[in-house]
Amino acid sequence: MDLLVLVLQGVIIAATPLVFAAIGELVVEKSGVLNLGVEGMMIMGAIAGFSVTLETGSYILGIASAALVGALSASLFGLLTQILLSNQVATGLALTIFGLGLAALWGQGYSGESTQALGKVHIFLFSDIPIIGPLFFSYDPLIYLSVALVIGVSWFLNKTRLGLILRSIGENHDSAHAIGYSVVAVRMAAILFGGACAGLGGAYLSIIQTPLWVEGMTAGRGWIALAIVVFAAWRPGRALVGAYLFGGVTVIQLHVQGLGFEIEAQYMSMLPYLVTIIVLVVISHNKTRAALHAPACLGKPFFASS
């Protein structure tokens, strides 16, 4: 039983960077923008969070600057794609490459350094309940924030007028423009939010999950987050489930190695990525269903010609 609780805890911790990055990208895609730069924004957030925390000793400052740097990287993408109308796919890929490079440069002096991991929140009485306590009430504050963020995004998209406007812009930007909504402003806001979330995901990696800086430490998590958004059919609740599933695969992989199965470690490390590909293939198999959930204007440039 204890082992199971331990594994599940590991799953949730491994999944949280994915939750942050995926929920941010989900909002971006709902507004009709495809930002493939998640990986780059995550790593920028990771180094920003790590270096600021190390220099100032303040987790709050570190986490805040990770979100800020994530949003800043995203604003570059927003400026290029929304105002200068560059191709979203190419710009997103460039942002990833740029982010990885810049983060490596920034992190040169920090290689091998480490910080104290952020402590867990002890919730009076609840945390002491056996099994339930460790499973639900024994985490650091960011995990609670990630869950709250998913609930908040779900509420925002489905219950608020602004959420409806954002969805409508992703659905048909020409109509939204004709009715009189500012497509570019809403998309820019979504892009910045997505960047901040990716930054938080990166910071979670470098401050809490493994409190040290290693070049390229996001290791493809940004890409998995993108896959999760498709897997979730652009629904926040499912994105959370998807992130935990992928987190689960990562953790199981470690435990299988730990238990001494005779499988090459490389095969096990492949697992999350392999699962991503399989899931994407299975989902895209049914074109009609996927198309119904996908924002109709996803990735299309918008130019107000009339």
Partner 1 sequence: MTDKSLLDLSGVTKRFPGVVANDDVTFSILPGEVHALFGENGAGKSTLVKIIYGVQRPDKGEMRFDGKPYAPAKPSEARAMGIGMVFQHFSLFEALTVADNVALGMNKEAIGSNLDEQIVEVSKAYGLTLDPARYIGSLSVGERQRVEIIRCLLQKPRLLIMDEPTSVLTPQEVEILFQTLRQLSSEGCSILYISHKLEEIRELCEKATVLRGGKVVATCDPREETAKSLAEMMIGTTFKFAERQVHELGKDRLVVNNLTSVSHDPFGVDICDVSFRVRSGEIFGIGGVAGNGQVELMETLIGEITTVADSICLDGEAIGTMGPTARRERGMCSVPEERLGHGAVSDMSLWENTILSARTRKSMEKRGFLDLQIAQDFAGQVVSKFNVKTAGIDNTAKSLSGGNLQKFIVGREILQAPTVLLIMQPTWGVDAAAAADIHRTLQDMAADGAAILVISQDLEELMAISTNFAVIAEGRLSEPKPTGSQTIEEIGLLMGGVYDRLGDADEGAPA
The residues that touch partner 1, with contacts defined as CB under 8 A, are: 161, 164-165, 167-168, 171-172, 174-176, 178-181, 287-289, 291-292, 296, 306
Looking at beta carbons only, is 161 or 285 nearer to partner 1? 161
Helices (H) and strands (E) in the chain, counts: 13, 0
Looking at beta carbons only, is 116 or 160 nearer to partner 1? 160
Give the nearest distance from C-beta 160 to partner 1 in angstroms. Answer: 11
Token digits of residue 164: 């409806």
| Amino acid found at 171 | E
Give the nearest distance from C-beta 40 to partner 1 in angstroms. Answer: 30
| CA dist., res. 306 & res. 303, Å (int) | 9
| CA dist., res. 169 & res. 177, Å (int) | 8
Looking at beta carbons only, is 174 or 215 nearer to partner 1? 174
Give the nearest distance from C-beta 192 to partner 1 in angstroms. Answer: 23
Looking at beta carbons only, is 176 or 251 nearer to partner 1? 176
| CA dist., res. 268 & res. 286, Å (int) | 29
The answer to whether 82 and 191 have CB atoms below 8 angstroms apart is yes
Looking at beta carbons only, is 132 or 185 nearer to partner 1? 185
Give the nearest distance from C-beta 161 to partner 1 in angstroms. Answer: 6
Give the nearest distance from C-beta 288 to partner 1 in angstroms. Answer: 5
Give the nearest distance from C-beta 262 to partner 1 in angstroms. Answer: 47
The answer to whether 209 and 106 have CB atoms below 8 angstroms apart is no
Alpha-helical regions (H) of the chain = 2-30, 38-56, 59-78, 88-106, 132-136, 141-159, 161-171, 173-179, 183-203, 221-231, 236-258, 265-285, 287-293
Looking at beta carbons only, is 171 or 215 nearer to partner 1? 171
| Amino acid found at 291 | A
R_g of the chain, CA atoms, integer Å: 19
